[in-house]
Chains A and B, each alone.
Chain A
């Protein structure tokens, strides 16, 4: 029978948490509802089938700090004790003889040593007879507290308290984010995407062992490395050969090696996404990317900006060889419209994803009300999540689409139908003051 667990979540990007937890539950067949999730609080109670499911969730989530079998909750210590006594006494007999310790987790507040000891001793009625072990006890009973902040100081007493038996801690408690932090990674550049949100993106994209993940705008491969952490086979492409090649013998490949995931790097290919070379029958289970928004450089595709200048060039010979087939030939690039590229991306995803497969990509936008009209839509793709990360003057959104079968008729919103264009670059440099020209 399902039971209640307390889930302790990191407060780093609360707007992304519910989507992450739901995506993991869906991927791993964990039956759970996260409807009670509240962005303003790090603790939530969730009904889960058993400890195994709780462990799976903790193991996979980037947000989860810990999952605890819930023994009681209250607004102060007295009400906590009353709740523990009335709700959890059926759990007690199982833990009579095992080794154990008590632990305290305070969110935005803490207690001094003496206070802590007193707090732990107040649970003496549990009457556990096993030895207390500070290192690697069989069980850890944790008191969790949430304080609010008054001015800059924590309030004197917590608003809410819980007692739980620790089932699992999340990977972020074991230096996952430090290990994957860009500053600790062998190959990065200015386009690299921060580790925590890359990992979260790949969780929402449901990267997993046995799946193939493709990033069409790979750059330094931030999403590929994150997807490999979750065990997916990774393919990437980029129009810029230099970024794929790396520098000072550092590259995407050395990043994969650094994390012990070399075998999961399929390949990175030099390719213009609008002229991709993947055979149509190749199933791509999930697509993740950060398209070129051209903050530093505009969107580019293969081709000649001024076609007249290239008339006849296709038959130019160099040393008896067609120039454009030589190894050292450099393919010219021309500018392309971002909105067209986004439409191409959705079309591609609708053709290559299996039903249920996900497309997740980031899109910078400013903080204004016209957002929705700018989000591309495809009739075979259901927009499942539209999550915002806000900065000072701008924001970026993680859009997650799920491929549906042919019976599904969703909204279509192509570039010509979008009322406001995503000329983010122009608007970025104008400081978002003016209304966009459409």
Chain B
């Protein structure tokens, strides 16, 4: 599971729908791996508008990274000094893999697992029916 995806998923239980603290999930006991990927600045730039930045900060903090800017800076692709920032975002969003660990809903406390890099959102019967 890419770090990026933590920004897209929330608790799958219907009664948590709309609850503020069902997103982002809390990431705990996470095993991380860096996996190299082609750096495509335009591609990273295209992803940025989709991000919920406060959720990025929160999950990064869960994983021990507190060095991110509190606001996502404006990025101009033609400005070479932005290359470093885009590269950092690439490393964080695309290359950082969550391989094992738990994802916990802070609204209902349900625990989901990441198994061999694949997050599992299947629900037990009493939460699905």
Contact = CB atoms under 8 A, between A and B. Distances in A.
A206 to B, nearest CB: 15
Interface string A17-48: 00000000000000000000000000000000
B5 A269 contact: yes
Contacts of B127: 314, 324
Contact of B43 (A235, A263, A301): A263
Interface residues of B, number: 41
A212 interface: yes
B128 A269 contact: no
B115 interface: yes
Given A233-B47, A263-B38, A266-B2, A272 B128 contact: yes
Interface string A257-283: 000001110111111100111111111
A283 B50 contact: yes
Nearest to B46: A210
B83 interface: no
Given A267-B1, A301-B128, A277 B12 contact: yes
Interface in B58-104: 94
Interface string B98-129: 00000000000011010110111111111111
Interface in A196-222: 209-210, 212
B129 A307 contact: yes
Q: Most chain-B Cβ atoms within 10 A of its Cβ — which of A264, A270, A307, A329?
A: A270
A275 B37 contact: no
B13 interface: yes
Contact of B115 (A241, A276, A282, A314): A241
Contact count band on A: 35 or more
B57 interface: no
Contact of A270 (B13, B18, B23, B122): B122
Interface string A318-340: 00000011010101100000000
Contact of B121 (A269, A281, A324, A325): A269
A276 B12 contact: yes
A314 B126 contact: yes
Interface in A53-78: none
29 contacts: A209-B42, A235-B5, A235-B8, A239-B122, A241-B115, A241-B120, A244-B118, A262-B38, A266-B5, A267-B4, A269-B118, A269-B120, A270-B119, A270-B122, A271-B12, A275-B128, A276-B12, A277-B11, A278-B8, A279-B9, A279-B10, A302-B123, A302-B125, A304-B125, A310-B126, A324-B126, A325-B111, A327-B115, A332-B125
The 5 closest A-B pairs by CB, nearest first: A324-B124, A304-B125, A331-B122, A302-B128, A314-B126
Interface of A: 209-210, 212, 233, 235, 237, 239, 241, 244-245, 262-264, 266-272, 275-283, 301-304, 307, 310, 313-314, 324-325, 327, 329, 331-332
Interface of B: 1-2, 4-5, 8-14, 17-18, 23, 37-38, 40, 42-43, 46-47, 50, 52, 94, 110-111, 113, 115-116, 118-129
Given A267-B1, A269-B121, A270-B119, 16 more contacts: A209-B46, A212-B50, A233-B43, A241-B120, A245-B116, A263-B94, A264-B43, A266-B2, A269-B120, A270-B120, A272-B122, A280-B17, A280-B18, A303-B123, A325-B111, A332-B124
